[in-house]
Structure 1
């Protein structure tokens, strides 16, 4: 009995023609996306651990986190940019990862396009809303009823 040393390609002959992909992604885009995942991952580790350290270890720690803590933190442009960077990088990093999973597992073009459209719309909505919250957050809005305002607001 002869032993064959030839290894079959994965999925060889198992994919029906209607499921084969016709348009391939550009190699440069995929290489850029791969590189972005590595670099953004490193930056996110620094941003997240800095965020956790300041929120949980500095001052009174977790016991100090309340509405006033967030209001005070977001009054400083440094923390607005820090949190904005964390939001944008996390969303782009996660969206790129899910995009890769969709490309790997969605076999029909229509399914892939639908899933990626939902992904991009959801990511854009979260980024836009998160950015608006960070830059328009006002703990003491003018004209609000005094009983609804936090104790540190001037009535």
Structure 2
């Protein structure tokens, strides 16, 4: 009796599927490196430049969030950090939760929490008014005109 083993590449190719775990792994490395740059830049600009931590007040934040550069900087930091953290928690759920129903519920909760925080944080960055009407002039940014 002769047994013939077919060459491994003669079988029909399986459908190509996206390897989400691989892309999640790559995202974690890339976002981690970018977050280090963003966070240390944020800390340096807030704590080391000017009067340091003593200068941080409503006017300081208003001045930063009136600049498109700092809006993009803070938005990138927000999005990358929340997605990075949610993806890390998803990995922990995959590693330690054995019941599929519980794992799915936790992942849905993680997704919803991250999506809600991203939405709210983005709204704050884009709708923040550094010159609110009726505010004490000594508390608002120096570029605000009296209303």
State the TM-score, normalizing by the size of structure 1.
0.77
**1:74·1:80 contact (CA, 8 Å) conserved in 2?**
yes
Kindly indicate whether residue 111 of structure 2 is the aligned counterpart of residue 130 of structure 1.
no
Q: 1:56 is matched with which residue: 47, 55, 67?
A: 47
Poorly superposed stretches of 4+, deviation over 2 Å: 144-153
Query: How far, CA to CA, are the matches of 2:89 and 2:139 in structure 1?
Result: 40
How far does residue 27 in structure 1 lie from its aligned partner after superposition?
Answer: 6.9
Contact 1:40 1:93 in 2 (8 A): yes
Q: Structure 1: how far apart are the matches of 2:47 and 2:140?
A: 23
Q: How many residues align?
A: 128
- Equivalent pair of 2:35/2:81 in contact (CA under 8 Å): yes
The alpha-carbon distance between structure 1 residues 148 and 112, as it changes in their structure 2 partners (threshold 3 A), is farther
Cα RMSD for the two superposed structures = 1.8
For the Cα contact (< 8 Å) 1:55–1:62, is it kept in 2? Answer: yes
Gaps of 5+ in 2: 1-16
Q: 1:137 to 1:41 in 2, by over 3 A?
A: same
Q: Is residue 74 of structure 2 the alignment partner of residue 116 of structure 1?
A: no
Distance change in 2, residues 1:146/1:106 (3 Å): closer
CA distance in 1, matches of 2:70, 2:111: 27
